Chain A
Amino acid sequence: MAEEQKKVEAKKPVSKRLNFFQRKALEKKEMRMGKRMIAEEKKRDSKITYTSPKDAYVSLQRIHKIYDNGYHAVHDFSIDIKQHEFIVFVGPSGCGKSTTLRMVAGLEDISAGALFIDGDYMNDVAPKDRGIAMVFQSYALYPHLTVYENMAYPLKIMHLSKAEIDKRIMDAANILQIEPLLDRKPKALSGGQRQRVALGRAIVRHAKVLLMDEPLSNLDAKLRVQMRSEIVSLHNQLGATTIYVTHDQTEAMTMASRIVVMKVGYVQQIGTPIEVFQHPYNLFVAGFIGSPSMNFYEADYNNGVLTLADGNKIVLSANQVKLHNEYYEKKENGDKARIAELTTLIAESKRDLANDPKMKELLDSVNEKIANLSKSLENPAALPEGEEEKQKAEIKRLIEDRKKLGYGIYDREEEKAKLEAEILTIEDIKKNNHQKVIMGLRPEDIHNGEGAHEGAAVEVTVTMAELLGNEYYIHASFGGKDTIARFPSDSMIKTGDKVKLLLDLKKLHIFSTTTELCIF
């Protein structure tokens, strides 16, 4: 009973476990840590000289966002955006996509890195002088002004003549078909109409860069599809460079000229929709893009043969085996180069640390604490009940703290150790030609055995058949996992039916279990 209680207690969020004073102390500590992290990042940043590439209209270079409480929201975000491009940032909530957009807009400070718009350094420029316009998720229409006044607001501030204001608003209203709404207030408009007005207010400024922060997420499904195509055609018409944030991968796929996939503050992949779809960089991208998402299976790779959990064997083609071997060759070389780079960086950071006695003292104290705790943990029998877990948790926390400090020494050392371990496993794989992998296959690459398709055939029992009208989502147990396949709805399929699946092995993906990177 007590054990269970403890487990429940440990799972509670920090804010529930601590009392008021402890919470305040923690907040204070976090703030101090955050300030230090920002200072360190800035110091590191000041050594780099950034320049804007010639063909990039908007250029984000090694952008970091660290909040005052030490939360590192965006890590090392770099992208060069050409003029007239439509870039979509996509990722699950909390991945830093909106934060990045707000940094481009100037609503959030950039902790480190550089932002260029049209070749000008924009980090410290006020939002209004960046030549951008933004559409907010909540539309941000002024409720006390009519649609006309709402759209005229930014123009009046620009001190344009009345005739010019009228012309611009009527042009925008014409494009968006909101002329009959001009004398209404936002309250009297539907969601879709408000969305149009918000777009209108952004385009009347004739800004060179248009930022959109999840503009369609407040609309219902049907309207969303309609507005999606309208925004794309608007973009084609205006030609403004657009950055669009969404959590919806369908929007990303249909609208973007290039997609940026993000996860917990890190960029996962940047590429055209087709690139991201066909050649996902890692497991996350493969699972996130595409609906229904890719089927993943744990598999055993042995000399070009994959063995799934349920004993099914898949023989890879010679080309695929070649790709596999090439990948590891490349990866090993890349890792070695990165280790060399990290070694110099760590030496550099250590030199920095030697020049900063305050930081050194702090780090030494943290190290000492860790050493003391690990020493007492060597003899767990001597500790009172429950103390062992507490100390382990404390060590974990201290190690996390240490990574944030010390000019990234520990961060990099961790990465280096990881890479070194990886090289060992790669050598092992090369020698034995045997490893555990994750196999991925998209639902659309699993065909109905009755159709005219080629592939490896498997017979399975349907555990669930979802009819969408034009197609079925067939759920079946295959490879030890629930597998989803997309079948056309020309023949009736019911739960419990036996069907033949044809796996299109040419479109198979394999991911490394350790790094989660896509091998091919």
Chain B
Amino acid sequence: MNSRTQNSNIFRRWFDGILSNKKALIGTYIILFFIFIAIIGPFFIQSPTEFLGTPLTPPSTKNLFGTNGQGQDVFAQTISGARQTLFVGFTTGILVVIIGALIGGIAGFYGGRIDDILSLIINIFLVMPGLPLMVILASWLPPGPGTLLGVLVLTGWAWNARVIRSQMMTFRNRDFVSAAIVSGEKNIRIILVEIMPRMLSLLASSFIGASIYAIGAQVGLEFLGLGDISTVTWGTNLYWASNDLALLTESWWTFVPTGLSIALVSFSLTLINFGIDEVTNPRLISERLWREKIPRNLIKDGVTPVLKNNE
């Protein structure tokens, strides 16, 4: 079979599988909702940086989420903050997976001394604490989305590289890879065309995990004041909320909408990852299968029951 049609079958089957899972479906709906808002929302709201009058007015019909300490509309800020935050988050996710797949893939495929060196680098980046490293990097660079992106990628790639490396090592010894090597295919082609499509679930969940990380870390950095505080993002919203003493003035509406949005986005991404895990993780599949086969009243807790093969 032609490897391209075979690969497109893998993609189709995979997507059908994921979308049949309830958790993944709910997560997909929520995340699509936020992406939709991030793209078209800013066209329909008033300027988020416009001064409207009295600062720190509670939510009302005039200002749905109230106004913040600068007298700006919190609703408008929440909507327009989504754009840059999600953009930086997902872009980091993509870059992290590409770098992770490249480094982890090479380390796992070639093994030997190349693997020793790359693994050492991966492990060093893994054990270094992220936030302080991001802070010293970001504080030297001019604030903005570019700096955030670079810093997040540099501190976030190692986890994915490690996971992809170990997956690559199990594929390396499979028959189809040996066959491809014997038939004279180039190594880079084997990695990219033969192996990577079979790692789709892993790459997808790596992308989602990296995006969750990137959104959280990005918001944390901006909260510390290391973002461009003149732009409107979810992180700078929280920075201003804390700078304008949201807690002391008991103005909860300045930080609750943004925080809930961040949590909903991360949670929906986590749900998608749960879904992927349930559909593709063989152990969780078998757990689901035996539950379907045994009548509910017979299910007992504890040790997994044994089924005959032909049942």
Answer yes or no: do A and B interact. no
Q: Residues of B at under 8 Å CB distance from A?
A: none
Q: Residues of A at under 8 Å CB distance from B?
A: none
